[in-house]
């Protein structure tokens, strides 16, 4: 029985690395919206989200023409899908933070306004399904009494 100086794991690793060098990997476009770091408290939620969508589009070398927030979000998803040839991943962190931050009695009108903005914003995702690979939404939902 002939002895080999390489282990089976090394041979497998060698075969795997040679087979992956023949592949080209395309990056998947990601839209990440972290509500904890968006300045919606200083400016309106709608303005903050518009700014964030413009920032994301700019980071991919695009600009958005849409006027309304929902049109702009849908446009961003479609532009990234078309430009990359890859379906888009949407990551939304602490999606309920713009509501929870305004639950005290004096701020309820702002919470209602933010709810309306978010309802319109999130409604885009259902119609964008053909352009989406994954939508991952995390919740804050931490109430302290």
∠ CA 76-79-80 to the nearest 5 degrees? 85
The pTM score is 0.78
Number of neighbours of residue 121 by Cβ within 10 angstroms: 22
Task: Band the pLDDT of 116: cuts 50, 70, 90.
Answer: very high
Query: Which helix (H) or strand (E) segment is 59 a member of?
Result: helix 45-59
Q: Distance between CA atoms of 45 and 120, rounded to whole angstroms?
A: 12
Kindly report the length of the chain: 145
Rg, the chain, Cα only: 22
Residue-level pLDDT at 10: 47
Q: Is 4 helix (H, G, I), strand (E, B) or coil?
A: coil
Q: Distance between CA atoms of 40 and 57, rounded to whole angstroms?
A: 19
- Summarize pLDDT for 82-96 with one digit per residue, the tens: 999 999 999 999 998
Whether 49 contacts 39, CB under 8 Å: no
In a domain, 100, yes or no: yes
Number of domains observed in the structure of the chain: 1
In a domain, 5, yes or no: no
In a domain, 110, yes or no: yes
In a domain, 7, yes or no: no
In a domain, 123, yes or no: yes
Residues in a beta bridge with 137:
92
In a domain, 84, yes or no: yes
Domain that holds residue 80: 30-137
In a domain, 24, yes or no: no
Task: Band the pLDDT of 57: cuts 50, 70, 90.
Answer: very high
In a domain, 16, yes or no: no
**The token pair that represents 53 in the structure block:** 């969508």
Q: Where are the beta strands (DSSP E) in the chain?
A: 30-34, 88-93, 132-137
Report which DSSP code applies to 129. G
């Amino acid at each position: 029985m002939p002895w080999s100086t390489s282990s089976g794991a090394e041979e497998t690793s060698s075969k795997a690395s040679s087979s992956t060098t023949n592949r080209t990997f395309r990056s998947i476009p990601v839209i990440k919206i972290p509500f904890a770091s968006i300045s919606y408290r200083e400016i309106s939620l709608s303005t903050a989200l518009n700014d964030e969508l413009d920032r994301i589009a700019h980071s991919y070398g695009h600009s958005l023409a849409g006027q309304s927030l929902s049109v702009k979000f849908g446009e961003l998803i479609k532009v990234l899908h078309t430009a990359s040839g890859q379906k888009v991943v949407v990551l939304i962190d602490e999606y309920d933070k713009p509501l929870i931050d305004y639950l005290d009695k004096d701020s309820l009108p702002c919470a209602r306004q933010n709810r309306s903005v978010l309802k319109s914003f999130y409604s885009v995702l259902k119609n964008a399904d053909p352009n989406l690979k994954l939508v991952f939404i995390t919740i804050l939902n931490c109430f302290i009494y």
